[in-house]
Structure 1
């Protein structure tokens, strides 16, 4: 095998000096060997650990939609996973209790109208000196009570799911309805649907869970012995997805069974590729003040327990020892051995390695 390589190198005119770690090649010879180079990417973080993670919503971004009144679900208007707008009807409930509340509102509205008419009448009589001020104060007290009762009845209906426009319409036309519309509280996505047509529900029974997807978190399970290596602000990259995240919290509770703790991170780029509930593998990246570089996996090779990369020089390619800080799916992170402006071979490395080793044997 050595003879084959020596014959090939002789044919392309490789001048190699065994006393050096440089395989001497000119540009034409490098092209014949199919050598291709790239410049290492300078980065500010090195791989720390790989771990499983899941995509979750922050607690403040989740909302439960409950039944405002007891009744029977007559219609469900949205399926699981769809986007909804604030105020959009999610379901309709047939509720006899709603009729009672509407009747109380209409009775309170009638009492308020009578009290308002009496107050206006007594106001006129007081100005003309026909009634005493004490009589006017009693009428004013009745008016205040009627006004408070009307306000309470309106607030009760509003808490039952009726919009203010619907309440005013009820007062105007006095037409009651037992149909209660359950509406979305925010612009978001239906994450869970508990409502089933024909189901009898009590007041405050959960019907839907709606989430606002403008912010997503990652929850990573990390072994407790590695928690001290993680710092707030460290980065997380996701396997097979371009999204990245920034660590915002290192959990203070260790699960007694798995001996792991939760590390939370906020997704700050390409979040549209993620969905709550996804399980993915992630790479934790530790911030570093050292000068580190990322190169393709093909650029690094091993020899006698050490790692090397072929760095392009004016004379050819130097086999330079490098220190690998970590490995990613398609790249290596190097923290020693490379300098800004270097070019490393990523294609034709086998030929360069054979020439380099052949040089050593020729000493």
Structure 2
């Protein structure tokens, strides 16, 4: 009896082992083979319908470019700060930020008693000069006939010359505050002076208000003459050696990427800042009224012509923010190869890769990409 039970248990164990092995074999048979996600197989008909063409990477002469950014700027000689030479109270303001102004236009009126005093001093000094001039002429005649001493004549001459200096100095002070001394008389004395625009341009800043007292050192307004705008661009240290005066720069704004502004490098700052960059100043040749100071710019600097590896633009695909080409492995099988890209010119684009590629797809590469990604989704 024990023998029969033992034989039964052994048989049961054997059957269970066989069933387990059979299930494992079934599982192994049902598990799909691993698929290379970078490769795709096309049939002859699919390749023909997609218009797939292959070829080799070519050597093309292309302009090497350096992509940088910066801002629209105004040269220092086109930026003006307006102040009042002698200070005073702002009596009236006639401008606002952003207003266009003509050269000589009145920006504000400033009043102060010192303006009255200056005009008074000039007029009284002029009257005294007339007296001293007459006295000098009289003393000169008397001295020639020895009717008066040399000392008296010399003193008269000194007083006359000193008065001439004083009158001329006061006249220049009047001109400094915008008053013409030639037309000034006792009936035209004024207590306020006009602050006029030194250029034709735009007002960028107004730093005062009506009734405020300003000193001679205070900047009342800031003006710009936008006719000669330039681009102030930032370049990294590693690229600075490639720059030369006169190189062409193509700029565009983020607001209007299609509008291209042509510029030439005018000045290269000869030192590297703490952030390992330097700045370059470029004259914009075709600026317009849409280009405002402070506008952000994207720019491409042409740094020379060289032979580079290139493919037709139709050979390069973009997937998940990376660029790829397809290498033909034979029998309509293609492998997706990551690459870098560079300059584009006349339908060709520079290819940067360390892998030696023998035969690549040159036309309709996107058709292969769609087959690869759609086929992958169906397989899942």
Alignment partner, residue 271 of structure 2: 252
Partners in 1 of 2:104 and 2:61 — Cα distance?
47
Alignment partner, residue 265 of structure 1: 281
Distance apart, 1:230 and its partner CA: 3.3
Query: With structure 1 as the length reference, what TM-score do the two structures score?
Result: 0.66
Q: Given the alignment of the two structures, is residue 301 of structure 1 paired with residue 315 of structure 2, yes or no?
A: yes
Alignment partner, residue 227 of structure 1: 240
Once the two structures are superposed, residues 55-85 of structure 1 have per-residue CA deviations (whole angstroms, 9 ceiling, x without a partner) of 1122222221112222211111222223323
Distance 1:209-1:350 versus aligned 2 partners, 3 A rule:
same
Query: With structure 2 as the length reference, what TM-score do the two structures score?
Result: 0.64
- State how 1:141-152 maps to structure 2 within 5 Å: 141-152=158-169
Partners in 1 of 2:325 and 2:49 — Cα distance?
28
Alignment partner, residue 200 of structure 1: 213
Alignment partner, residue 112 of structure 2: 95
Distance apart, 1:198 and its partner CA: 1.9
Select between 206-215 and 259-268 the one with higher mean Cα deviation.
259-268
Equivalent of 1:183, from 163, 180, 196? 196
Structure 2 gap ranges (5+): 1-41, 318-322, 328-339, 353-362, 369-380
Distance apart, 1:277 and its partner CA: 1.5
Q: Given the alignment of the two structures, is residue 169 of structure 1 paired with residue 186 of structure 2, yes or no?
A: no
- State how 1:1-363 maps to structure 2 within 5 Å: 3=45, 6=48, 21=55, 45-49=63-67, 51-126=68-143, 130-132=147-149, 134-159=151-176, 161-163=177-179, 166-170=180-184, 172-239=185-252, 240=257, 241-247=259-265, 248-255=267-274, 259-272=275-288, 273-288=290-305, 290=306, 299-302=313-316, 306=325, 325-326=342-343, 334=350, 350=364
Distance 1:333-1:179 versus aligned 2 partners, 3 A rule:
farther
Distance 1:301-1:8 versus aligned 2 partners, 3 A rule:
closer
Q: Is the 8 A contact 1:43 1:293 kept in 2?
A: no
| SS in structure 2 at match of 1:169 | coil
Partners in 1 of 2:195 and 2:326 — Cα distance?
64
Distance 1:57-1:351 versus aligned 2 partners, 3 A rule:
closer
Question: Which 4+ residue blocks in structure 1 deviate beyond 6 angstroms?
Answer: 291-295, 351-354
Partners in 1 of 2:282 and 2:308 — Cα distance?
25
Q: Is the 8 A contact 1:69 1:95 kept in 2?
A: no
Distance apart, 1:48 and its partner CA: 1.7
Q: Is the 8 A contact 1:91 1:181 kept in 2?
A: yes
Distance apart, 1:228 and its partner CA: 3.3
Distance 1:73-1:6 versus aligned 2 partners, 3 A rule:
same
Q: Is the 8 A contact 1:291 1:335 kept in 2?
A: no
| SS in structure 1 at match of 2:277 | strand
Alignment partner, residue 30 of structure 1: none
Q: Is the 8 A contact 1:324 1:332 kept in 2?
A: no
| SS in structure 1 at match of 2:165 | helix
| SS in structure 2 at match of 1:190 | strand
Partners in 1 of 2:79 and 2:139 — Cα distance?
54
Structure 1 gap ranges (5+): 10-15, 23-41, 309-322, 337-348, 355-363
Distance 1:115-1:102 versus aligned 2 partners, 3 A rule:
same
Distance 1:7-1:112 versus aligned 2 partners, 3 A rule:
closer
